A = this chain, B = another copy of it.
Amino acid sequence: MSVQGSHGHSHSKSPQSLRLTKGAKKVLEVLERTDELSSAQDIHSALRSEEDSPPGLTTVYRSLESLVQLGLVQAVDFGDGERRYEMVKPGEHHHHLVCEVCRTSVHLDQCLVQQLEESIQAKYKFEVRGHILEIFGLCEQCQQAMTPAGKK
């Protein structure tokens, strides 16, 4: 994930607001019924294929920005150039185990970083504000599919 942003600006609403705009609602709807991570483009084409007048890609990007700000959506970074998004319980976040073969991902049930914030503050005098953490490897099925054939 990337627990960045979400600076608690109550006011200072420089346009592209913190209100759920029409487009943003549609974007949220898509994420609501998707369990896999979706890129902006994924969301855009999903909308494209079901809405009569779907929001443009620009709006999707802008919507995602505010949804993330609002804490309703989490942005996830896998280090390939493409950001992905998923709905989360307001204000929460989590990290993933991503299978390098089948690309499916599992949520980690707890955040390793959060539970270290105090010790990091103590040890390094560093105030943690955000972090990225994603783990890559092989899911159970892909591990098995690997060994039989001997094709390490």
A residues near B (Cβ < 8 Å) are 2, 4, 77-79, 81, 97, 99-100, 106, 112-113, 116, 120, 124-140, 143
List 13 extra interface pairs beyond A100-B129, A113-B135, A131-B135, CB under 8 A. Answer: A2-B79, A77-B132, A78-B132, A97-B124, A97-B126, A106-B126, A125-B139, A125-B140, A126-B139, A126-B140, A130-B135, A132-B133, A133-B133
Which 10 pairs between the two chains have the least Cβ-Cβ distance?
A125-B140, A129-B137, A127-B138, A131-B135, A128-B137, A77-B79, A130-B136, A97-B126, A127-B137, A133-B133
Please name all residues of chain B whose beta carbon is closer than 8 Å to the beta carbon of A2 when the two chains form the complex. Answer: 79
Q: A79-B4, A120-B97 are in contact. Are A138 and B129 (CB under 8 A)?
A: yes
Pick from A100, A106, A116, A135 the residue with the most CB of B within 10 Å.
A135
Q: Are the C-beta atoms of B131 and A134 separated by less than 8 Å?
A: yes
Between A and B, 27 residue pairs with Cβ closer than 8 Å are A4-B79, A4-B136, A79-B132, A81-B81, A97-B120, A97-B124, A97-B126, A97-B128, A99-B126, A100-B129, A106-B124, A112-B113, A124-B140, A125-B139, A125-B140, A125-B143, A126-B139, A126-B140, A127-B137, A127-B138, A128-B135, A129-B136, A131-B134, A131-B135, A132-B132, A132-B134, A133-B133
| CA–CA, A77 and B80, complex, Å | 9
Q: For A138, list chain B residues within 8 Å (CB).
A: 126-127, 129
With a cutoff of 8 Å between Cβ atoms, the chain B residues found around residue A113 in the complex are: 112, 133, 135
